[in-house]
Amino acid sequence: MVFASATVAIDLHTYFALVPVHAFVCVQATPYGNSVYCVETTAVGSGDSFSQAESEGAYEFSMYQQEGALDLIDVNQVLSSGVKELPSN
């Protein structure tokens, strides 16, 4: 949630990548492109470098996409549909 909130806050098109029993965050690489840049957010908290977390995110995205086990939730679309963020106070 923190990574998704941060990327939305800086106007990046953000996705939750849902895979079996897990989720991670992806952002659209270019405003009009189809490629995404993913980060395995749990790797960052476990002591891996950001570069390692990005490599793991790219690997998982590709693997689960090939298996047909990847769903993307468009966070920007969800927010624009009327779903509100939690209040900050």
Sheet hosting strand 71-74, strand order edge to edge: 36-39, 22-28, 14-19, 71-74
**What pLDDT digit, counting tens, does each position of 78-89 carry?**
888 877 666 665
- pTM attached to this predicted model: 0.81
What's the confidence (pLDDT) of residue 59? 95
φ, ψ (nearest 5 deg) of residue 38: -115, 150
**What pLDDT digit, counting tens, does each position of 34-51 carry?**
788 999 988 887 788 889
pLDDT above 70 (res 76): yes
What's the confidence (pLDDT) of residue 87? 62
The Cα–Cα gap between 19 and 57 comes to 12
pLDDT above 90 (res 70): yes
| CA angle centred on 49, ends 46 and 53, rounded to 5° | 75
